[in-house]
Structure 1
Amino acid sequence: MTAGGTVANSVAGEAGRRRTFAVISHPDAGKSTLTEALALHARVIGEAGAVHGKAGRKSVVSDWMEMEQARGISITSAALQFEYGDHVINLLDTPGHADFSEDTYRVLAAVDCAVMLLDAAKGLEPQTLKLFDVCRHRGIPVITFINKWDRPGLHALDLCDQLEERIGLRATPLNWPVGEAGHFTGLLDRRSGDMMTFERAPGGARISAEHRLTPDEAAAAHGDEWQAAVEEAELLDEYDEASFLAGKTTPMLFGAAVSNIGVARLLDVLVQLAPPPAARPDVDGTPHDLDQPFSGLVFKVQAGMDKAHRDRVAFVRVCSGRFERGSVVTHAATGRPFATKYAQAIFGRDRDTVDVAYPGDIVGLVNASALRPGDTLHAKEASVEFPPMPSFAPENFSVCRARDTSKSKQFRKGIEQLAHEGVVQVLRSDLRGDAAPILAAVGPLQFEVAAHRLEHEFGAAVTLERLPYTLARRTRADDRATLDAEHDVEVANRGDGAVLALFSDKWRLNSVQRRHPDLLLEPLVAGADAER
């Protein structure tokens, strides 16, 4: 066998061991709690802190920002890599709040599967519906986990009906609850027919003990509840791999992440059913095979993870080939060489040096100031570029100013960093000058994050003044004079060179378009808007 063949076989074998998935849901469904419970069951952490910021409890490993720990919500996505049996898990925890949708959608460009959490009491919620649509649009198969079954909630069959009636996704449950939500006594394993019961660990800090009962033992111990679960399970569809991978069905499981109930089964299902990495289409739609030389997609840039060093980390999904630390690769956007001397495996905020990585792995490249979300890296001997990362049309706008003018250098540096990461879009208007950039965001919570980081990471406290605009349109520099003469319209430049016209509302936009039909006023990234 040739050396090249050996490497190719090694890459294929290693890629087959990888499972790269995101945990996504509506806010407060329990994503970060589940993330930590999965790590606990994989034995990579010794104790879980299920409640954010509660006295005497550890905050979850994926929520490392001060604002996340204070508010009890996920503000930024986080990566956790760990081994489970013979497999390597790359788990991405995502923000649930709609204001941080852009971060979540970038993560979905880097995964092969998604775990969608549904709150047992709330079922499908608005953000959940949007995320299902995005997964379908991108061909990402979805495994559904019904969380919080230890609390009162909807009937299990009603939740299955919601999926099929509202989004056309048919549930194929792998287990089934014995007892109603809030009063359940265990889970029926549809594969074996046995019943799993659980001993809840205090506060869910440790793995809950599981006990397996045969059908006869379950019938004797749980009587009518067991019989009802058996009869309902007979009405359910069976799992089918082809329809799951095609996005037509979703394997469903039940549990309670805060009590670590059903989490071990979910981890096993991910290993067994979630697809391994496969060839990814390049910018022209041509599949780029796994055995090609190294290529990777930058899907996130994050600063401030290490306060001692104030470094900047680019999160790269390895798409093909074998990544080797220290190799010099090509930055597709510029054609320039990029050194990978400082490469790390990520576990929340903790990081360890990684020497080798394979398709599906998430690698953190430190001090990658030249990289932006959506960039492609590739080996010198191979040329490839993956589709650009979608961005959202902003709907909220604020003028940002440094409170202390002596901190102008820190302020400019911080604004540049936030724009680089994609935390907010930064616009500059002739009406306001460089000292008062306009921050443009999908949701207002992004402004709070920006202000908090400017003050605590860069030492530049700021004031924010909300502007009366709700939408932006791409225009031309030649149209600026006409637009500047209009009331309630402002023209600003974005860092990538785009010229944007800001409008108070769609009626004002329509009025300007009627009177000036020759103006270019095109929507921003229509594809991403459609996904929303």
Structure 2
Amino acid sequence: MKNIAEIEKRKTFAIISHPDAGKTTLTEKLLLFGGAIQTAGAVKNNKIKKTATSDFMEIEKQRGISVATSVMAFEYLGKQINILDTPGHKDFAEDTYRTLTAVDSVILIIDSASGVEAQTKALMEVCRMRNTPVIIFINKMDREGRDSFDLLDELEDILKIKVRPLSWPIGIGATFQGVYNIYDKDLNLFAANKTKISEDIVSIEDLNSSELEDTIGEGPANELREELELVDGVYDEFDREAYLRGEVAPVFFGSAINNFGVKELLETFLEISPSPQGRESNEGFVAPEAKNFSGFVFKIHANLDPNHRDRIAFLRIVSGKFERNKFYNHARLEKKLKFANPTSFMAQDKSIIDEAFPGDVIGLYDTGSFKIGDTITEGTSFSFKGIPSFSPEIFMELENKDPMKSKQLEKGIQQLTDEGVAQLFIQQPGNRKIVGTVGQLQFEVIKYRLENEYGAKCEFQPKRYYKACWMTTNNQEQLDQFIRAKSIYIAKDKDDNFVFLAETPFLLQMAQSDYPDIQFHFTSDFKVEQEN
């Protein structure tokens, strides 16, 4: 069957890391190996400002950070690879969380000098929630950094996951000579090359042969033998099934900026990582092999191309085969839709496709029909579970600084919040707009995009709220009473659900105590929360 062959061919994964660990650089180098680009420049260069392929939003270019999820597809060694490059900045963690619902595995990058950082731990927690298989790439080995064994201990202690090195560095920083590929038993010698692929690989089956000394010198050869012996003594043999269950993380070493250690990572990843997996729905588990098409929207992006006011919904295909110009069911709206120009992505470059298969991420041009979490199906309608959305941590009131552009401001904030970069709460009287985010930088991005993409000027005034709490109850009378009593703290989200904006943990606790029949939810996905 064609569908089965296409499913087996695909690998869909995200690259995640703490900011500045080298995530976007590694993405570039994977594209370089895949032939998707011919040369790559460093993301940050003191003399020349070059921009990573996946950083296409103007503010990203100015700040040198990724604040939007990019999707890139290419073929390598007969496999269709779909990379989702996520925001590294902690203020955009929620976008990363949603992206992880759309992938089947993850490559986590660690800076060899910094080790495990706060954002790394938070990202690993999300992977653990979903039992997502993780491969770890320890980056920047060509710079002075931490001892490799110390890094591995830290990974196990802080990330609470067993590790198993599948490559091993020879030296570090000034003494870095390359990596030994434990998985394939060959030696890759280091040569700094930031823009092209260069390989100097020596196959050494027997590490006790004199060929090792001839290649890297007597001292480094003896040290490598001792360290590899210790690796085999300390760590269990690699167990692919344990990796697929999310219980053990293979570890690779290298230097993404110099294209070093990337090939070992990529080729081993293709061999051991999972093919597209199914997803849970309110009608049960949907397997990728299922005949009927299904998929879910995990991201929406307005103005992907500023020259064309397009709005694109990113759809992860879960089962069946997607076909252009075929009618499908929009589960939430209960209406039929067809798509004349579905696209695949290579960062900001898009190409129209006629068909797509499980594991693929496609772009659907959207006129406002989609929200994050929407399900598209063929045959019977159902909804996929598990698109996380959390209570914001920072709240600000949106103030219009140009009354002549009120319509543009209204349209802009609605579209940007549909993308998931922030949440919008409307308070009455006065139709006041409260914007909630998980980080301060998002307000800077919203303000910039409102002005540059919609021509609307605004300011943000801080609001002292602790949590946004969605409410459900079987006691409508008690809910009505609560809304009347707390009216100055009540708002509606963009789906018209009532939200309690609690000022302090104490006031939230009092509300829970005084109104016991009301359930206060800290995620807007409270319907799924109730089902679970």
TM-score (norm 1): 0.92
The answer to whether the Cα contact below 8 Å between 1:325 and 1:355 also exists between their aligned partners in 2 is yes
Give the match for residue 364 of structure 2.
Answer: 365
Query: In structure 1, what is the Cα distance between the partners aligned to 2:515 and 2:366?
Result: 46
Q: 1:481 aligns with which of 471, 479, 484?
A: 484
In 2, Cα distance between equivalents of 1:413 and 1:398: 18
Residue in structure 2 matched with residue 439 of structure 1 by the alignment: 435
Q: CA deviation at 1:151?
A: 1.1
Q: State the Cα deviation string for residues 426-463 of structure 1 (Å, max 9, x = none).
A: 111115x23x4110111111111111111111000111
* Distance (whole Å) between structure 2 residues aligned to residue 453 and residue 332 of structure 1: 31
Q: Is the 8 A contact 2:400 2:459 kept in 1?
A: yes
Does the 8 Å contact 2:278/2:285 carry over to 1?
no
Q: Residues of 1 paired with 2:458 and 2:275: CA distance?
A: 45
Q: Which residue number corresponds to residue 198 of structure 2?
A: 208
Deviations 1:193-241 (A, max 9, x none): 332102212xx12223323263433323322222212221222232111
In the alignment, the residues of structure 2 paired with residue 157 and residue 397 of structure 1 have an alpha-carbon distance, to the nearest angstrom, of 43
Match 1:224 to one of 203, 209, 219: 219
Correspondence for 1:471: 467
Determine helix, strand or coil for the equivalent of 2:520.
Answer: coil
* Counterpart for residue 447 of structure 2: 451
- Offset, 1:181: 4.6
Q: Which residue of 1 aligns with 2:244?
A: 245
Match of 2:475 in 1: none
Choose from 227, 232, 235 the match for 2:230.
235
Q: Structure 1 192/479 Cα, relative in aligned 2: closer, same or farther at 3 Å?
A: closer
Q: Is the 8 A contact 2:312 2:365 kept in 1?
A: yes
In the alignment, the residues of structure 1 paired with residue 328 and residue 367 of structure 2 have an alpha-carbon distance, to the nearest angstrom, of: 13
Which deviates more from structure 2 when the two are superposed, residues 210-219 or residues 16-25? 210-219
Deviations 1:392-413 (A, max 9, x none): 1111111112211000110111
Q: Deviations over 1:366-410 (max 9, x none)?
A: 13520111111111x243321151101111111112211000110
Counterpart secondary structure, 1:191: coil
* Per-residue deviation, residues 253-292 of structure 1 (Å, max 9, x unmatched): 0001111111111111221111101332223442434232
Conserved? CA contact 1:168–1:248, under 8 Å: no
* Cα contact 2:187–2:203 (8 A) shared by 1: yes
Q: CA deviation at 1:424?
A: 1.0
What is the rounded CA distance, in whole Å, between the counterparts of 1:527 and 1:494 in structure 2?
12
Partners of 2:470 and 2:523 within 8 A in 1: no
Contact 1:20 1:111 (8 Å CA) reproduced: yes
Matched position secondary structure for 2:459: strand
CA distance in 1, matches of 2:47, 2:69: 24
Partner of 1:402: 400
Greater shift after overlay, 58-67 or 383-392?
A: 383-392
CA contact (8 A) 1:301 1:313 kept: yes
C-alpha distance in 2, partners of 1:402/1:211? Answer: 60
Q: Which residue number corresponds to residue 476 of structure 2? A: none
**Partners of 2:185 and 2:321 in 1: CA distance:** 42
Secondary structure at the aligned position of 1:326 is classed as: coil
Q: Which residue of structure 1 aligns with residue 474 of structure 2? A: none
Query: What displacement does 1:507 show?
Result: 2.8
| Structure 1 residue 192 displacement after superposition | 4.2
Residues of 1 paired with 2:55 and 2:79: CA distance?
24
Q: Is the 8 A contact 2:4 2:289 kept in 1?
A: yes
Query: What is the Cα-based RMSD across aligned positions, in Å?
Result: 2.0
Amino acid in structure 1 at the alignment position of 2:258: S
Q: Distance in 1 between matches of 2:29 and 2:417?
A: 33
Whether the aligned pair in 1 keeps the contact of 2:389 and 2:525 (CA below 8 Å) is no
How far off its partner does 1:146 sit?
0.4
- Structure 2 counterpart of 1:45, which letter? I
Structure 1: where are the runs of 5+ without partners? 1-8
Cα distance change, pair 223–477 in 1 and its aligned pair in 2 (3 A): farther
AA in 1 matched with 2:451: E
Q: Is 2:130 the counterpart of 1:127?
A: no
Give the length in aligned residue pairs: 511
1:366–1:229 distance in 2 versus 1, CA, 3 Å = same
Aligned to 1:411: 409
Aligned amino acid, residue 222 of structure 1: G
Unpaired segments ≥5 residues, structure 2: 472-478
Partner of 1:508: 507
Please report the TM-score for the alignment, with normalisation by the length of structure 2: 0.92
* Contact kept? 2:427, 2:492, Cα under 8 Å: yes
Q: 1:295·1:384 contact (CA, 8 Å) conserved in 2?
A: no
Deviation at 1:517, TM superposition (A): 4.1
CA contact (8 A) 1:153 1:182 kept: no
Report deviation, 1:508: 3.5
Alignment of 1:104-503 (within 5 A): 104-181=96-173, 183-201=175-193, 204-212=194-202, 214=204, 215=207, 216-220=210-214, 221-236=216-231, 237=235, 238-379=237-378, 381-431=379-429, 433-434=430-431, 436-475=432-471, 476-484=479-487, 490-503=489-502
**In structure 2, what is the equivalent of residue 64 of structure 1?**
56
Compared with structure 1, are the counterparts of its residues 317 and 54 closer, same or farther at alpha carbon in structure 2 (3 Å cutoff)?
Answer: farther
Decide whether the 8 Å contact of 2:15 with 2:109 is kept in 1. yes
CA deviation vs aligned residue, 1:303-334 (integer Å, no higher than 9, x gap): 11111211000111111111111111110112
Once residues 50 and 418 of structure 1 are traced to their aligned partners in structure 2, the CA distance between those partners, rounded to angstroms, is 30
3-state SS of 1:464 partner: strand
Deviations, residues 79-122 of structure 1 (Å, cap 9, x unaligned)? 00111121100000001122111110111101111000011111
Q: Residue type matched to 2:280 in 1?
A: P
